[in-house]
Structure 1
Amino acid sequence: MDIKTGVEFLLLLLAVLRFQRGGCQRIGCNTCCRGPTGKVGAKGDPGDIGPRGERGENGSIHIHNISAFSAVLGASLTHNAGEALPFISIHTNVGDDFDGPSGIFTCTIPGIYRFTYSIYAYDETLEVFLMKNQDNINGVYVYIHGTDYFIARSNSAVLQLASGDKVWLKSTTPNGQFHNSDRTTFSGVIIHEM
């Protein structure tokens, strides 16, 4: 046996010995001395349940505030120009923000509100404005030409209100005659709290 053959024999013998001890001993070797991948074994039993975690922080619940009212005039009346129109019959007053006798809604929940109103007239020309504090927002004008006429007009507005703002209906007609009817109405509701 020559030296070259002897070296090859020793290398072969070392490879066999390494394979018998559990495969190739070279770090990072994934190719030599490795057979085909075997079948996947059966699923093992589930482990034990772990310990209970720590209690989390308390959450917060936001309960939405509500403010809504709906009122009708409820009686015939002669009204002075520049004053708030009173409402005798109140159907809804959630939050108690509307005062019927004074006709004034006072905001206690800052937010966006929707207001609607209708004015019903009989043989009388009337002009009414929706007011925010002392500012005219919009109005209706009921013009009667002749006699024995019933006419109704309505309007609405979406307003951003701060706490303490007042919303009301103002007649600009001197000694305006408002007919006893459930057709003269005023209502408002919060649609988004801020």
Structure 2
Amino acid sequence: MNSFQLWPLSLFLSLLINPSVQIEDNQIPSLCSGQPGIPGSPGGHGSPGQPGRDGRDGRDAAPGEKGAKGDVGEPGLSGVRGDRGDQGDPGVKGERGQPGECAVAPKSAFSAKLSETKSGPPPVGEAVRFETVLLNEQGHYDPETGRFTCRVPGVYYFAVHATVYRASLQFDLMKNGHIEASYFQYYGNWPKPASLSGGSLLHLVPSDQVWIQMGLGEYNGFYSSQKTDSTFSGFLVYSDWKNSAVFA
């Protein structure tokens, strides 16, 4: 056996005897001249490590700059009512206005009767003068002429009550010289007085005049005494003026 064959054996014995002896890889003589081995399979992933320690709190930094304005959003749904906003503060009380004019409803009314008949029947074609005034607060009726003169435009009602005695009677309700209505009572030889009444609505404007006039000379039976009267009356039903006021 040659020395080359005995060297591995002696090396093996020395390792057994003194295991603390270490031999570096590059000092071990090659025992064979074979090809490199096949690489081993990759090892598996290791287990996750322990969480790291919490970092220290950072210092407060200055506020960042304001970002750019975003794009306009899409329109909301049609017909959907939004939430009601907060109630605003009461406004400042305005100045007090000027006092308005006091509205007074216009008035016009009269009533008059014949005086006792002593001078014969009223003449034909003239206004019958009802001389004894019963009511004429506004002075729109003139007992001297027997005519009513309109001062307030509107609709009026005129009424006549005549006592007829020992004659027929026919009279007309006149407006500005035109006959508006006619009334007639025939005398039938009655021993006592009879009556004839009539009335009509007329629309008047200021300065219009209304009166009673005898129609025919033979029908002139107007009568008045202490026991019976003949009267002429009229009053305003409603005015044409929207803003009523006091009129003379």
**Equivalence for 2:57:** none
| TM-score, scaled to structure 1 | 0.69
1:57, distance to aligned residue in structure 2 (A): 4.4
Q: Which has the higher strand share?
A: 1
Which of the numbers 190, 194, 213 marks the counterpart of 1:170?
213
| Amino acid in structure 2 at the alignment position of 1:152 | S
Q: Are 2:157 and 1:114 aligned?
A: yes
Q: CA offset at residue 135 of structure 1? A: 1.4
Q: What is the deviation of 1:173?
A: 2.6
Aligned to 2:204: 161
Give the 4+ runs in structure 1 shifted more than 3 A: 49-52
Q: Which moves more between the two structures, 77-86 or 90-99?
A: 77-86
Q: CA deviation at 1:164?
A: 0.6
The match for 1:72 among 113, 117, 138 is 113
1:55 paired with 2:55, answer no
Q: CA deviation at 1:51?
A: 5.4
CA drift of 1:52 comes to 4.1
Q: How many residues align?
A: 148
Q: 8 Å contact 2:162–2:223 — kept in the other structure? A: no
Task: Please give the per-residue CA displacement for 1:94-145, whole angstroms capped at 9, x wherever unaligned.
Answer: 2101011211001111111111111111111110111111111112111102
* Offset at residue 147 of structure 1 (A): 4.7
Q: What's the RMSD between the two structures over aligned residues? A: 2.2
Per the alignment, residue 180 of structure 1 pairs with 224
Tell me how far 1:178 sits from its aligned partner. Answer: 2.6
CA contact (8 A) 1:79 1:174 kept: no
2:146 match = 103
Higher relative contact order (CA 8 A, sep 6+): 1
Identity, in percent, stands at 31
Give the secondary structure class of the aligned counterpart of 1:102: coil
Residue correspondence of structure 1 range 19-58 to structure 2 within 5 A:
52-58=93-99
Structure 1 unaligned residues grouped into runs of 5+: 1-48
Q: Which residue of 1 aligns with 2:81?
A: none
Q: CA deviation at 1:58?
A: 3.5
Deviation at 1:72, TM superposition (A): 0.9
C-alpha contact 1:79 1:177 (8 A) present in aligned 2: no
| Matched-pair contact (CA < 8 Å) for 1:75–1:88 | no
Query: What does residue 135 of structure 2 align with?
Result: 92
Q: Could you tell me how far 1:149 is from its partner in structure 2?
A: 3.6
Is 1:191 paired with 2:237?
A: yes
TM-score normalised by the chain length of structure 2: 0.55
Distance in 1 (alpha carbons) for counterparts of 2:222 and 2:108: 27
Partner of 1:28: none
SS in 1 for 2:136: strand
What are structure 2's unaligned runs of at least 5 residues? 1-89, 241-248
Name the SS for the 1:167 alignment partner: strand
Structure 2 counterpart of 1:62, one-letter code = A
